[in-house]
Amino acid sequence: MSIPLVLNRKNRILLAELTKTDFKLRYQGSILGYLWALLRPLMMFAILYIVFAKLLKIGSDIPHYPVYLLCGTTMWSFFTECTSQGIQAIVNRGDLLRKISFPKYIVVVSATLTAVINMLINLVVVIIFALINGVTPTWSWLIAIPAILQLYLLSLGIAFLLGSINVKYRDITSIWEVFIQALFYAVPIIYPLSMVASTSQLAAKILLINPLSQAIQDIRFGIITHETITTWNYLDNIFFSFIPVCITLTILVIGAITFRKKSKFFAEEV
């Protein structure tokens, strides 16, 4: 089984139906329902803002820091939801895989697209919050589009890779949850990268080569403030700017190949 770039009509319909089903089931039985798609990242933002911005006074030198922080937490929530749901997708849809023959990758893609829907809803809130905070819309907002696409491809690659391993070794889910908690502090979400750069330029460059950090910084640069440190305005060599993109594509390719090889055994192992 291969993972084609273009879906035929039958698979497109199946992907759309699975995505809608995943989105509905995510909030089924809750009192607030779909509002949780907005409330979870907003609650996370509120806690981080009070603790780090108000109490610890972090980010005071960053223009529109509340929006800066909200944008970071929104993209982080998208990444964590996309990877977590994608990793568990095959296991969660085991009954369907045993009954119907269809391309297995559709299950993972549908789970990640549910995260995309939530992210787009929250991105609207970020934009509204940015306008209220005095951010002026410019053409640079378009920079966010390829950065978000890169973040999705990175998440999808991780979901393919770890999701295919998780079918046989269910510990992967727990290991990823622990890893992602540590990763949160290794990515400039709550603290500006300029704070790291003022202490160690080498550390800032290492953090910036991380594709997750690079994508989030690019989105902040495009939507919020051009004072945001990015690969192209901070790294000495312009070719270093392509490292995060190359890492993203490498993870996606390795994940797709691994998924393709292991997918033939999913029905037996799930």
Q: What pLDDT score was predicted for residue 1?
A: 43
Do 244 and 209 meet the contact criterion of CB atoms below 8 Å apart? yes
Whether 6 is in a domain gets the answer: no
Q: Is the pLDDT score of 4 beyond 80?
A: no
Per residue in 93-133, pLDDT (tens digit) is: 877 777 777 788 899 999 999 899 889 988 988 998 899 88
Whether 2 is in a domain gets the answer: no
Whether 5 is in a domain gets the answer: no
**Cα of 30 vs its chain's centroid, Å:** 24
Number of domains in the chain: 1
Query: Residue 265 — pLDDT band, cuts 50, 70, 90?
Result: confident
Per residue in 39-70, pLDDT (tens digit) is: 777 777 788 888 777 777 787 778 888 899 99
Q: What pLDDT score was predicted for residue 6?
A: 53
Query: Could you tell me if residue 101 is left (phi over 0), alpha (psi between -120 and 50 degrees) or otherwise beta?
Result: beta
Q: Is the pLDDT score of 35 beyond 50?
A: yes
Each residue of 133-143: b (16+ CB within 10 Å) or e?
eebeeeeebeb
Q: What pLDDT score was predicted for residue 29?
A: 57
Q: What pLDDT score was predicted for residue 149?
A: 96
Angle at alpha carbon of residue 177, lines to 172 and 181, rounded to 5°: 145
* Residue range of the domain that includes 171: 13-269
The distance between the two most distant Cα atoms of the chain, rounded to a whole number of Å, is 57
pLDDT averaged over every residue in the chain: 86
Q: What pLDDT score was predicted for residue 33?
A: 56
Whether 209 is in a domain gets the answer: yes
Q: Is the pLDDT score of 154 beyond 50?
A: yes
Query: Residue 3 — pLDDT band, cuts 50, 70, 90?
Result: low
Whether 8 is in a domain gets the answer: no
Angle at alpha carbon of residue 27, lines to 94 and 92, rounded to 5°: 10
Please state which of the ranges 4-8, 166-170, 210-214 shows the lowest mean pLDDT: 4-8
Per residue in 174-208, pLDDT (tens digit) is: 999 999 999 998 899 988 888 898 888 999 999 99
* 148 or 22, greater pLDDT: 148
Q: Is the pLDDT score of 17 beyond 80?
A: yes
Answer whether 0.95 is exceeded by the pTM: no
Per residue in 71-82, pLDDT (tens digit) is: 999 999 999 999
The residue type found at 176 is W
Whether 178 is in a domain gets the answer: yes
Q: Is the pLDDT score of 233 beyond 80?
A: yes
Q: What pLDDT score was predicted for residue 113?
A: 92
> What is the 8-class DSSP label of residue 50?
I
The predicted model gives 232-246 an average pLDDT of 86
